[in-house]
Structure 1
């Protein structure tokens, strides 16, 4: 008779950037190790894209998805409350529902895994006396900076962005002050103190999973593993984890359009599930794409005067008529070479299509991994969160992307520079070299995930620990 398997509980905070890798980790634990998996999802009533993703999931027998009821946070947030704070509040207010859901389970979880915004759920793990892990759904350098922030907080006087020298995280490549994560841009803002608190509490975890792999960030992973940065819980690079290609949730028409295009002839333009650009920048981008004379598929949202993450909680919503935002005649002139997709598109299916030759991306970590895993070079266009650091990795460490001279978050990138970047990626020797390097990374990623690979072994190591713990608990 087969021994009972551990029951792993995972908690995702709102947003596709956290939900997708959490879902994929749960599926991988099930497929490789046969564990029972329950994924708790904190929800909002606003995000159509998140609802579509959850409704599209084919859930195996030993995997259960539980959507916690949306928490009423109307009295706790303001219209200008930072995204990071809002997410933390949503998770915090969902803790009672999580507690009730776990109490109702027939088998108590062996382990609780949360993303970085779910650290308030540590109290639930402590209550049930089970180990608590954090899944860092971003890069190793993001984790290194995060765990080093409490030290920096005591060392640095004034604002990080005013520093004249790069920020030195021990054992890691230097980080430009302009590339720090959003909460570090203003130390007087409430979200900075919230971030520092998360940095401290992160170190209370029993282990940290990373959605990266050894060959992608070897220097940083070594610094974390050998406690060169600071003393950290054990780290487990288990990536890349990304949603597999499947029947598209929506947007079949854009795949039909791609079927009619030449191999590697189309630039995919998307700013992620929640990113937006200004009206002025939208005009420059449209004009630059037209000047480049390259084919493109563009996921478009209405421009906003708010911050670049203004649609984080409402991705997939909104009206489809965006024609008023483009330069006069643009849609008519580009009708044969461009396809405009309002609000949302099936990104993994698009990036895996043979017609795609480049990706103008906001450099969210999910999008970065999806591009690498499909061998697609990038134009790095970071907007918010940790995306500026991701862009630096792609352009300077890995050399699989180009980026504008001006930081998009600080100013408008002009049409001529956009034209040049598009041509660099889509045409000629430089484009071919970028494609060659990103395909090498793809090969290393696949090797790491296969049996005997570094990510496979890393996940197996912690899985054996859980099985032993569960067996001892039962005996």
Structure 2
């Protein structure tokens, strides 16, 4: 029996690492012929990512799956003024990846039963490592931690820039509407990924789009029925083959019970949810980088108090250093930021927490709505567990995702779609409590059209991963392609 080794390399950001780890697990659990090795680059921007990778090293991974932590190179300390730090990190880590994979290959040649190197899977933004794969003479694949429609937008914007000479940075705050392949409706240009609006970041974005055309095929964390329009658009014969293999959702059913977690605060969260009626709780959580200024926090608090729905609010503290990008931290005392008396007045209906075990909360039957920043992983989690979203995007491609969910797919309602979080200073935009109340009431409505559609898509998402489902079949075709690489 031929055995194949696949090497996976994410970028050092939480959502990207978690998603590729789930891909690696899926591959080894699906086919006994496969082994996987994941290389984690350091340093990482977010401390919670470090905790996650440490837990991987300490936990029992599935058989035939390895995680290798690359050395933390001194020269790689993130200078956020250098927008090219990721490319610099990839360049400096190439020799270490080459060295490790060479050793793996040497060992496999000594033993005929060892797996043979079949290929690399790179994150969309780690394709700078392609030289390593080419050096070993094996194919490389790309895994998108974003959706299929986002990949469509990358190709579309690259064509506008390279083919038609369009200055994409001029779309910032523009009223133009763009016919993006992969979206059924025209997209307001101001909702394009934020990278596009800055010359320095745009160059990096376009380079990744060009490189994406060179890959053997593209794995996407999505499923055909969810993004059928976008998947069909990508499968036009001009692009590399596309394999929808999602939704990749790391679920509590992985054998970890938060009620017996060492941390009392997580057990406390789940026990509080146990006491709430089904679908009665509005959950507010804005990702590992989500935080708001004091004025905005007060508007959210006012909305929660006045709409009357039960709520669970993950409230994080912004970085105190202006001009420096740092991930949010937990408040030591919520009284310092919330309106006076808020916690007392909402004691019967609400709970304010710091960092939240998001997937486990969304999987809880008490949760009926989700105010989210619309990171792609969060969207897939909400769909997987049938929880309708109120969109409040902050940065990256989240505005694009929010548009897709609200306008294209009808699976979410809008709080504010064109909101941008400025990480290097105060944000000028303040969303009013009235707008927040309106969205919460809409998303928490029983028997609303949005709720019905999300519940139906949840059922389909579950089927897609099972034998005979669209993602199951897609993954099978991908595995056969990888095994063929070593024939």
TM-score by length of 1: 0.90
Corresponding residue for residue 217 of structure 1: 227
Corresponding residue for residue 151 of structure 1: 159
Corresponding residue for residue 180 of structure 2: 169
Alpha-carbon shift at residue 419 of structure 1 (Å): 1.3
Contact 1:302/1:322 (<8 A) preserved = no
> Cα deviations across residues 217-274 of structure 1 (Å, max 9, x unaligned)?
11211111014xxx22111111111112242475222111111111111111111122
Alpha-carbon shift at residue 408 of structure 1 (Å): 2.3
Q: How many equivalent pairs are there?
A: 455
Instruction: Give the secondary structure class of the aligned counterpart of 1:104.
Output: helix
Corresponding residue for residue 38 of structure 1: 37
Instruction: Give the secondary structure class of the aligned counterpart of 2:9.
Output: strand
Q: d(CA) in 2 for partners of 1:345 and 1:292?
A: 22
Corresponding residue for residue 206 of structure 1: 216
Matched, 1:443 2:459: yes
> Cα deviations across residues 394-418 of structure 1 (Å, max 9, x unaligned)?
1112212111256322721101111
Corresponding residue for residue 408 of structure 1: 419
Corresponding residue for residue 424 of structure 2: none
Corresponding residue for residue 124 of structure 2: 116
Contact 1:301/1:322 (<8 A) preserved = no
Which blocks of at least 5 consecutive residues in structure 1 are unaligned? none
Matched, 1:335 2:347: yes
Q: d(CA) in 1 for partners of 2:229 and 2:321?
A: 37
Higher mean alpha-carbon deviation, 257-266 vs 160-169, is at 160-169
Alpha-carbon shift at residue 279 of structure 1 (Å): 2.2
Corresponding residue for residue 242 of structure 1: 249
Higher mean alpha-carbon deviation, 136-145 vs 56-65, is at 56-65
Alpha-carbon shift at residue 469 of structure 1 (Å): 2.2
Corresponding residue for residue 445 of structure 2: 427
Corresponding residue for residue 271 of structure 1: 286
Instruction: Give the secondary structure class of the aligned counterpart of 1:65.
Output: strand
Higher mean alpha-carbon deviation, 93-102 vs 4-13, is at 93-102
Q: d(CA) in 2 for partners of 1:271 and 1:263?
A: 23
TM-score by length of 2: 0.88
What root-mean-square deviation, in Å, do the aligned CA atoms of Structure 1 and Structure 2 show? 2.3
Corresponding residue for residue 64 of structure 2: 62
Which residue of 365, 388, 400 maps to 1:377?
388
Which aligned segments of 4 or more residues in structure 1 are displaced greater than 6 angstroms?
A: 305-309
Corresponding residue for residue 140 of structure 1: 148
Alignment of 1:251-266 (within 5 A): 251-266=266-281
Distance 1:88 1:341, change over 3 A: farther
Corresponding residue for residue 93 of structure 1: 92
Alpha-carbon shift at residue 17 of structure 1 (Å): 1.1
Q: d(CA) in 2 for partners of 1:80 and 1:443?
A: 45
Q: d(CA) in 2 for partners of 1:416 and 1:111?
A: 52
Higher mean alpha-carbon deviation, 266-275 vs 148-157, is at 148-157
Q: d(CA) in 2 for partners of 1:426 and 1:307?
A: 36
Distance 1:170 1:355, change over 3 A: closer
Q: d(CA) in 2 for partners of 1:190 and 1:70?
A: 26
Alignment of 1:386-397 (within 5 A): 386-397=397-408
Instruction: Give the secondary structure class of the aligned counterpart of 1:326.
Output: coil
Corresponding residue for residue 12 of structure 2: 14
